[in-house]
Structure 1
Amino acid sequence: MSKIQTMSSPGTVSNDSAIVHPAGFYIIGFQTFPFVSVYFVFLALVYVVTVLFNCLLIYVIAFNRCLHTPKYLAVVNLAVIDVILNSCTIPSMMKMFLVKDNFIPFNLCLVQMFFYYAFGTLESYALAILAYDRLIAICFPLRQNSINTLQHMSCIVGVTWSIALGIITFATAIMTRLSFCRSVTVFSYFCDYAPVFRLACNDYTMQWSVASFLTMLLLAGPFAFILLSYVSILATVFRMKSLDSRSKALGTCVEHIVLVAVFYIPLITIFTIGFYLRLIDADQRVLSLSLASCLPPCVNPIVIFVLTHRGKNIYGIKTLWSLYCTVHSPQSKFTLVVLYCAS
């Protein structure tokens, strides 16, 4: 059995059977970045908006029975994931900036790695779930209420969480089989999977293979499902005889298309430029990846509120507020609830 050791500083391992874990890692992604203070102020604003708007979205849906439908269960799922995803990285980045402490203990590094990749995966699954909701609503309108029930959507959400958490648990656990006997500086904005395993002084073929496979399974898989869903949706829409029906059907997809674009386009662009064209340096890569990671959870609730406002009056919030300001009697409060549910 391998002997597991810990060390407080990089060293050399003479025994190949020993697994040496450092006390921690130093995150150095932004040390050479110009105007870093401006960027961290921006990140603080992003985090505040992320938490406030997503919590508002969850509150509005949770406390209004009119919105207890499969679609809005999927929206709540996305909002919860968004809050946790940005909470994985932005607070630790702010700590590095404010306290000037870029050291993260080894176990905490693995915890951050797990939560970041688990909820990054769940973000892509959540977008695929919303695509499924649109697919059923447009392609099977007469059977929508029997196919896409609240219980069915709850099962889908539960299965995606189980798959993502289970797979990322395995991917994180195998990192403990690596020895770190040389550098412990991670050039990223958090404990990133690939930059960490590349620091190992023993073979990391398994970790590299798992990272490559999971990228295809957990990101490309949901994206392919979303594309196929919209192929089916477009085929159904173009079979509609009424132009008004076509525009209404496509109009219900605008919100989701924007969410998908906000999440996937930056990732695809960075991957293409960085890995194939080699036109991006290390600093630009760290900045681009941090923005691609932190902005979607901030933008998602704003997109949902703004685009839903065009069709559904922001879940009735405007109607609710205007009626609340003028109505005070018990009979009027009953009317308020009825009007809100109809809005």
Structure 2
Amino acid sequence: MSSLNASFVQNMSIVRPEYFFITGLSGIPYSSYYYIFLCVTYFIAVIGNSAVLLIIALERSLHSPKYIGVFNLALADLGETNAWIPNTMKIFFSDSQYMSYNACLANMFFVNLFVTLQSATLVILAFDRYIAICLPLRYHSIVNNTVMSLVFVVVWTFNTSLVALTASLTTQLSFCKSNVVQSYYCDYGAVMGMACNDNSINMFFTNLIVALFLVAPLFIIVLSYMGIVFALSKITTWEARLKALKTCVSHLLLVVSFFLPVICIFIASLITSLTPNARVISGSLSLSLPPMLNPIIYVLNTAEIRVLIQKLLKNRIVPIRKNISKRR
């Protein structure tokens, strides 16, 4: 870009651009249709996760360890959705693909924070299901509201500190070649790849985050369900097995919606090198689908939430009908 040199600000030996140019979906054919899809997923994710948060917060019967985990997952979903989709839509509607240096770091931080929180929450919910099925008599002594709340305080503190450290390391990178980010948000990997100085420490923390929040969680969840299957095999009746297994359906669907897109992208990248457009589409799908699907999964598979929604709708509809009948 001809204006690139003019936008650089020299800070000692570090060269930082005043802004980054986020390509977004600009190079994808018929991208306007994909933006419509993103609008729909954003609307469903925001309404669905806000409803889940409100129901759990207001209904005392849902103030249990399991629903503390569900509350945190909905909060992470809502945060992640708002961290990147509105900015992507802004790029489309305003045709302005520039993002300031500091705004890029903030965008990078919040997207990565909420994605890691989603992954960590799925592990905690897997632990909750494992204890409930494998150690039912000790469940309430091991898992309670206080323990679950403390676990999430630790998770939020650790994740925030690690992601903040990783994002802050970007300030040590020098950008003397390009400021064009080939992604739909200020992607840490894409930004790091543009650096013209040593980025080995950045690469180390990137691999650490992938190991801690993608590889390790999936491994732990698989192990937990192996233990659950083993415990279920000891139950004599099929009815009791199915009843115990039904309590895991929602969590299994959440795990599939979160990890399956990532696994598919990984396998596709091994089989063939993905084009930039394919990486953008697949990456954005892996971020947009779980927050949209998670509230739907919990509403459809959780009897307590379905009953509460039915009660709320009934309480709203009955007074309206009475008012209409009085007017007549």
State the TM-score, normalized to the length of structure 1.
0.88
Q: Distance in 2 between matches of 1:206 and 1:313?
A: 45
Within-5 A mapping of 1:19-168: 19-168=14-163
Does 2:260 align with 1:265? Answer: yes
Moved over 2 A (4+): 8-13, 319-327
CA displacement at 1:243 relative to structure 2:
1.2
Counterpart secondary structure, 2:5: coil
Name the residue aligned to 1:221. 216
Match among 275, 298, 303 for residue 304 of structure 1:
298
Cα distance change of structure 1 residues 279 and 182 upon mapping to structure 2, 3 Å threshold: closer
Cα distance change of structure 1 residues 135 and 33 upon mapping to structure 2, 3 Å threshold: same
Is contact 2:7–2:17 with CA below 8 Å preserved after alignment?
no
AA matched with 1:155: L
Q: Distance in 2 between matches of 1:200 and 1:279?
A: 22
Q: Distance in 2 between matches of 1:146 and 1:251?
A: 23
Q: Distance in 1 between matches of 2:11 and 2:85?
A: 37
Q: Distance in 2 between matches of 1:92 and 1:31?
A: 14
Cα distance change of structure 1 residues 209 and 202 upon mapping to structure 2, 3 Å threshold: same
Aligned positions, number: 317
Q: Distance in 1 between matches of 2:277 and 2:220?
A: 33
Deviations 1:310-342 (A, max 9, x none): x44614322454477669xxxxxxxxxxxxxxx
Counterpart secondary structure, 1:31: coil
Name the residue aligned to 1:314. 306
AA matched with 2:229: L
Farther-moved stretch of structure 1 (35-44 vs 99-108): 35-44
Name the residue aligned to 2:283. 289
CA displacement at 1:29 relative to structure 2:
3.4
Q: Which runs of 5+ in 1 are unaligned?
A: 1-7, 328-343
AA matched with 2:290: P
Cα distance change of structure 1 residues 95 and 320 upon mapping to structure 2, 3 Å threshold: closer
Q: Distance in 1 between matches of 2:218 and 2:75?
A: 20
Does 2:195 align with 1:200? Answer: yes
Is contact 1:24–1:106 with CA below 8 Å preserved after alignment?
yes
Q: Distance in 2 between matches of 1:273 and 1:119?
A: 25
Is contact 1:10–1:184 with CA below 8 Å preserved after alignment?
no
AA matched with 2:279: R
Q: Distance in 1 between matches of 2:149 and 2:7?
A: 51
Match among 164, 174, 187 for residue 182 of structure 2:
187
Farther-moved stretch of structure 1 (296-305 vs 134-143): 134-143
Q: Distance in 2 between matches of 1:61 and 1:85?
A: 20
Deviations 1:210-245 (A, max 9, x none): 211221112211111111111111111111112111
Farther-moved stretch of structure 1 (233-242 vs 214-223): 214-223
Q: Which runs of 5+ in 2 are unaligned?
A: 320-328
Q: Distance in 2 between matches of 1:217 and 1:158?
A: 17
Deviations 1:114-159 (A, max 9, x none): 1111111001001111111111111111111121100000011111
Match among 252, 268, 272 for residue 278 of structure 1:
272
Deviations 1:279-310 (A, max 9, x none): 421101110100111110011000110111xx
Name the residue aligned to 2:165. 170
Counterpart secondary structure, 1:253: helix
Cα distance change of structure 1 residues 149 and 32 upon mapping to structure 2, 3 Å threshold: same
CA displacement at 1:66 relative to structure 2:
0.8
Cα distance change of structure 1 residues 176 and 16 upon mapping to structure 2, 3 Å threshold: closer
AA matched with 2:193: R
Q: What RMSD in Å do the two structures reach over aligned CA positions? A: 2.1
Question: Which structure carries more relative contact order (alpha carbon 8 Å, separation 6+)?
Answer: 2
Is contact 2:7–2:18 with CA below 8 Å preserved after alignment?
no
State the TM-score, normalized to the length of structure 2.
0.92
